């Protein structure tokens, strides 16, 4: 048995043993559009993972991880999803900020911030998008000024996932007055529990609120809490985005597979599969998911991968309502109770917008991958 197979067997056995008792009720809970589900219980579960060494498996051992290879990380995320384990609450800290600090942080920053992330004692959110600067990240206007021994931050972020549950936010801010676009930005680590920070949840189409507006009005953070050099924030921010679209997306694809299999089963039960158009679309969805997995294993360009999976998942949401038929237009209960297929359809509308809109991803692919002329800017 190879080391990867041994690793897969180990995590599969651990999940079978530990995802039981009080934790058994958490199977399938949480995830996009459902982050409100059993949040406190999922936090307890994730701390249980940490206590047994199953958080941050891809981090180097010297920073508390397992030093797992890419193949082992793939095995972990796939087995976790196959076990129908609850959605992770510490994804942003573990998968985004943690690797960023490992590669670009100072030793003091690593010592301060990595242990609480690994132990799930501090949760993080991502302060990138702003009104008027969503996918066009280089247009951020939030500013920070170094005053004495602190950065003083003013501005607004939006679509900040789980900010209402987080203690810290990594914030891309303009720190050089008069700078434009990619220059003059810094990547700051900012505590949220302080005067000068206001967090307002945003009600989504699903009726839930996992995105937020975050307002900074004279908020402060220590001068040493800048990752990389001041003014080097764009490079650090792009590194974080690369981690965001890493191997953990293979676990996401297991969830997609579960949704597709359930939809095929529904189409067979309610007779929708007798429609040749529905059968064709279900077949195309299956083929698309196979291509998505093959691309992830091969290491598809992150922008191309994001563009592909987001449209695949949005299309699956549309297909789900076709399979459900006219009843899909009615709420399952008052005042606004949605079933799983309605929630999938509504939340997947955002897939092609968040984490870089499709329009921006196409420009990146055209300009940076294919070498086509850049889009004219005013």
Each residue of 285-335: pLDDT tens digit? 999 999 988 888 887 777 888 899 999 999 999 999 999 999 899 887 888
Tens-digit pLDDT profile for residues 250-269 = 778 888 998 999 999 999 99
Cα–Cα distance, 283 to 291 (Å, whole number): 12
Q: Give the number of C-alpha atoms closer than 13 A to the C-alpha of residue 182, restricted to the C-beta side.
A: 5
Cα–Cα distance, 6 to 79 (Å, whole number): 12
Question: How far apart are the two ends of the chain, measured CA to CA in Å?
Answer: 59
Angle between helices 249-270 and 302-324 (to 10 degrees): 20
Beta strand pairing call for 211-222 and 197-202: antiparallel
Residue 57: the pLDDT is: 94
Residue 92: the pLDDT is: 93
The residues of the chain scoring below 50 in pLDDT are none
What is residue 86's three-state secondary structure?
coil
Q: Does the annotation count 244 as an active-site position?
A: yes
Cα–Cα distance, 174 to 166 (Å, whole number): 23
Q: Determine how many CB atoms are found less than 10 A away from the CB of residue 239.
A: 18
Residue 367: the pLDDT is: 86
Cα–Cα distance, 243 to 95 (Å, whole number): 7
Catalytic residue among 72, 78, 244, 259: 244
């Amino acid at each position: 048995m190879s080391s990867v197979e041994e690793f897969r067997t180990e995590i599969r056995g651990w999940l079978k043993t530990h995802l039981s008792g009080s934790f058994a009720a958490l199977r399938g809970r949480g995830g996009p559009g459902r982050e409100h589900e059993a949040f406190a219980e999922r936090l307890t579960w994730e701390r249980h993972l940490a206590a047994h060494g199953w958080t941050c498996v891809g981090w180097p051992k010297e920073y508390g991880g397992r030093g797992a290879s890419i193949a082992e990380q793939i095995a972990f995320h796939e087995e976790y999803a196959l076990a129908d384990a609850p959605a992770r609450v510490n994804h942003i800290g573990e998968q985004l900020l943690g690797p960023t600090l490992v590669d670009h942080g100072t030793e003091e920053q690593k010592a301060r911030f990595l242990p609480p992330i690994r132990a799930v004692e501090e949760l993080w959110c991502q302060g990138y998008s702003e009104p008027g600067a969503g996918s066009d990240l280089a247009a951020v206007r939030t500013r920070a000024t170094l005053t004495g021994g602190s950065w003083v931050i003013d501005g607004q972020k939006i679509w900040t996932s789980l900010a209402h549950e987080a203690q810290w936010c990594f914030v891309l801010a303009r720190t050089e007055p008069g700078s434009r676009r990619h220059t003059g930005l810094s990547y700051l680590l900012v505590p949220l529990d302080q005067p000068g920070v206001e967090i307002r949840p945003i009600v989504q189409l699903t009726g839930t609120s996992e995105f937020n507006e975050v307002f900074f009005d004279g908020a402060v953070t220590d001068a040493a809490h800048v990752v990389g050099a001041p003014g080097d924030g764009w490079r650090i921010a792009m590194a974080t985005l690369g981690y965001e679209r890493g191997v953990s997306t293979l676990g996401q694809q297991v969830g997609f597979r579960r949704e597709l299999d359930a939809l095929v089963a529904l189409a067979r039960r309610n007779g929708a599969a007798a429609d040749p158009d529905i059968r064709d679309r279900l077949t195309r969805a299956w083929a698309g998911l196979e291509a998505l997995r093959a691309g992830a294993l091969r290491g598809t360009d992150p922008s191309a991968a994001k563009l592909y999976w987001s449209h695949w998942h949005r299309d699956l949401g549309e297909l789900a309502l076709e399979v459900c038929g006219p009843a899909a237009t009615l709420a399952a209960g008052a005042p606004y109770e949605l079933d799983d297929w309605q929630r999938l359809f509504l939340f997947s509308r955002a897939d092609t917008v968040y984490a870089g809109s499709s329009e921006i991803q196409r420009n990146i692919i055209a300009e940076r991958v294919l070498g086509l002329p850049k889009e004219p800017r005013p």
